[in-house]
Amino acid sequence: KAYILRAILIASTVILFLGYDQGIISGAILFIREELNFSEVQTEIAIGVLNIAAAFGGLLPSLFIPAYGSIWTIFIAVVIYTLGMTLIATSFNFTIVMIGRIITGVGVGLGFTSGALYGVEIAPANDRGAVTSFIEVAINAGLFMGYLSALALFGLPSEYNWRLMMGAPVPPSLWLLYLLRTLPESPRWLVSKGKAQEAREMLLATCQEAEVDGTLRDIQETQDLEQAEDDSWKKMLFDASVPVRHAVYIALLVVFFQQATGSEALVMYIPEILKDDGVESESIKLAAAAYVGLVKTLGVFFGLALIDNPNWGRRPLLLSSIAGVGISQALLASSFVMPTKGLAIGVAGVAITGFAGSFSFGMGPVTWVIAGEIFPRSQRSNGLSLCMFANRFTSGVVAATFLSMKTIMTPPGIFGFYTAVTALFFYLAHRYVPETKGLSLERIQKVLGSSAAFEDDLVGLMEAHAAEEAAPP
């Protein structure tokens, strides 16, 4: 487990950079907007464009990973990210900021998808949920670091404090390039390249010795079957097999609604939201944002402890998390119509805390665990790329339209709308998202292929197979 942990921590650092951007931009944009004279529309576009670019960057791993593997792909992503952040930190107008944000977004999207795929493929079945949840740990750790950096640099002159905020990740990214070269490739990718002995050595480092030969045999048998399959995008989207088609439906459901509920609008616009509730001090707004980052980080560790727990798992965590987010959004909507300023700020504080904690123990980590393990090996790279595109594009649209929608719908109206979207997510997740805890990646595919129609009880089928796999021989 120590071996896996080290590999995941290094590979997930590029995902941490995404979290850092989400945190730092909420503070830096206050000074960028003033220094470079951004309008309100330019402000929300500058914030949202990174995630839209990340959506397209998330499509690229399917071009790189089959040939070069996850580690080299993450390496390329870090190089692109570093170039983008350097450009932003040295920019002097809206156009250069936009170009830098787009380049950074492509790097983040490429690294996010590649890091997620790597985590899924090196993790043993019994620990896969916890291991791949480090994606969300990395995002929230970066978010917290971004908020703290904004708070720490707030008092410096505005003409260069935001440049330090945006340039701070550049030195660590250069160190990451060195660390990436110390990581091994995933056993499934090694087998796909005919390197079975190297794959066995990797499995010996990550699994119990008694499980190695059986796991390697399952990987080889599955890949033998998948080699005869068409792994193209056209096949996945328009002529997919039953398990792939079901995987696409389930994965797109969770990754789309994770962002359609307005989660990153709240994260990126905390100062703006608190301003609407009557908070005037910029330092208090940034301190509140840092507090939210801390709550989100702690919430992830709570989910991490339960995601592979026999009494919990993916599905219960996801559903309880969605419920908590919906209640918190409704409470936040009500804060804007409270009769006194003090009461409004108090209710908003409780709502934002509840939202941050609820999202981070379930909707955050579970989404990427499900998206990572639901696809077969032949389509996992394409599948995760598609999920990354849908998730980041939705996030970008939400972030790039939040200020305008808030003006049109009013603050209580916009969060009332997000509450309704969250309620719809709860219904669909309860109806269609199955439990995959404890099942091997290969067994999940067998279950998804055992039902001809998506409307059939995939939830019940998955539970039956999980019980069968857990039963003593």
Q: What is the pLDDT of residues 120-130, one digit of tens each?
A: 777 766 666 66
Determine the average pLDDT of the residues in 107-127.
79
How far is 441 from 455, CA to CA, in rounded Å?
22
How far is 19 from 136, CA to CA, in rounded Å?
9
Determine the average pLDDT of the residues in 230-251.
75
Provide the phi-psi class of 4: left if phi over 0, else alpha when psi is between -120 and 50, else beta.
alpha
How far is 14 from 138, CA to CA, in rounded Å?
8
How far is 129 from 306, CA to CA, in rounded Å?
9
Nearest of 289, 439, 261 to residue 362 by alpha carbon: 261
How far is 258 from 393, CA to CA, in rounded Å?
12
Identify the pLDDT of residue 240. 67
Determine the average pLDDT of the residues in 442-456.
64
Helix (H) or strand (E) holding 12: none
**Which of 292 and 327 is assigned the larger pLDDT?**
327
Residue 444 has pLDDT above 70, yes or no: yes
Identify the pLDDT of residue 175. 92
Which tokens is 41 given?
């529309």
Identify the pLDDT of residue 253. 94
User: Out of 59-73, 94-108, 220-234, which region has the weakest mean confidence (pLDDT)?
Assistant: 220-234
Identify the pLDDT of residue 467. 54
245-386-48-103 Cα dihedral, nearest 10 degrees: -170
How far is 203 from 195, CA to CA, in rounded Å?
13
How far is 10 from 8, CA to CA, in rounded Å?
5
Name the range with the highest mean pLDDT among 166-175, 219-228, 282-291, 455-464. Answer: 166-175
Name the range with the highest mean pLDDT among 24-28, 70-74, 100-104. Answer: 100-104
Measured CA distances, 332 to 186, 271, 283, 356 (Å): 44, 14, 21, 12
How far is 98 from 87, CA to CA, in rounded Å?
10
Measured CA distances, 214 to 131, 200, 354 (Å): 21, 11, 44
Determine the average pLDDT of the residues in 390-410.
89
Determine the average pLDDT of the residues in 446-466.
59
* pLDDT band with cut points at 50, 70 and 90 for residue 451: low
- Cβ density class 369-392: b for 16+ within 10 Å, e for less: bbbbbbbbbbbbbbbbbbbbbbbb
Residue 45 has pLDDT above 80, yes or no: yes
* pLDDT band with cut points at 50, 70 and 90 for residue 329: very high
Q: What is the mean pLDDT of the chain?
A: 83
How far is 7 from 5, CA to CA, in rounded Å?
5
Determine the average pLDDT of the residues in 204-215.
72
- Cβ density class 137-157: b for 16+ within 10 Å, e for less: bbbbbbbbbbbbbbbbbbeee
How far is 169 from 430, CA to CA, in rounded Å?
39
Determine the average pLDDT of the residues in 438-457.
65
Contact of 3 with 366, CB cutoff 8 Å: no
* pLDDT band with cut points at 50, 70 and 90 for residue 157: confident
**Which of 267 and 238 is assigned the larger pLDDT?**
267
Residue 91 has pLDDT above 60, yes or no: yes
Express as a percent the part of the chain with pLDDT over 70.
Answer: 87
Determine the average pLDDT of the residues in 182-208.
79
Residue 459 has pLDDT above 70, yes or no: no
Residue 245 has pLDDT above 70, yes or no: yes
Neighbours of 158 (CB within 10 A): 12
Query: Which residue, chain included where needed, has tokens 């089928």?
Result: 461
Contact of 289 with 150, CB cutoff 8 Å: yes
Helix (H) or strand (E) holding 59: none
Determine the average pLDDT of the residues in 79-98.
93
Determine the average pLDDT of the residues in 298-327.
87
| Terminal-residue alpha carbon distance, the chain | 26
Give every CB contact of residue 369 below 8 A, 6+ residues apart in sequence. Answer: 128, 129, 132, 133, 307, 314, 436
Determine the average pLDDT of the residues in 381-399.
86
How far is 430 from 370, CA to CA, in rounded Å?
14
Which tokens is 53 given?
């670019």
| Class of residue 287 by CB neighbours under 10 A (exposed 0-12, middle 13-18, buried 19+) | middle
Name the range with the highest mean pLDDT among 50-59, 123-132, 193-202, 234-243. Answer: 50-59
Contact of 15 with 142, CB cutoff 8 Å: yes
How far is 94 from 51, CA to CA, in rounded Å?
17
Question: What is the DSSP-derived secondary structure letter of residue 292?
Answer: H
Identify the pLDDT of residue 203. 77
Phi, psi of 156 (to 5 degrees): -75, 160
CA dihedral over 440, 446, 451, 454, signed as positive or negative: positive
Determine the average pLDDT of the residues in 309-331.
91
Residue 176 has pLDDT above 60, yes or no: yes
Residue 257 has pLDDT above 90, yes or no: yes
Residue 311 has pLDDT above 60, yes or no: yes
Identify the pLDDT of residue 256. 95
Identify the pLDDT of residue 137. 80
Identify the pLDDT of residue 97. 93
Question: What is the DSSP-derived secondary structure letter of residue 58?
Answer: T
**Which of 218 and 311 is assigned the larger pLDDT?**
311
Identify the pLDDT of residue 244. 81
Residue 171 has pLDDT above 70, yes or no: yes
CA 280 to chain centre: 32
In the chain, what are the domains?
2-183+235-470 (1.20.1250.20)
3-class DSSP state for residue 315?
helix
Determine the average pLDDT of the residues in 245-268.
88
User: Out of 140-154, 155-169, 190-204, 391-405, which region has the weakest mean confidence (pLDDT)?
Assistant: 190-204
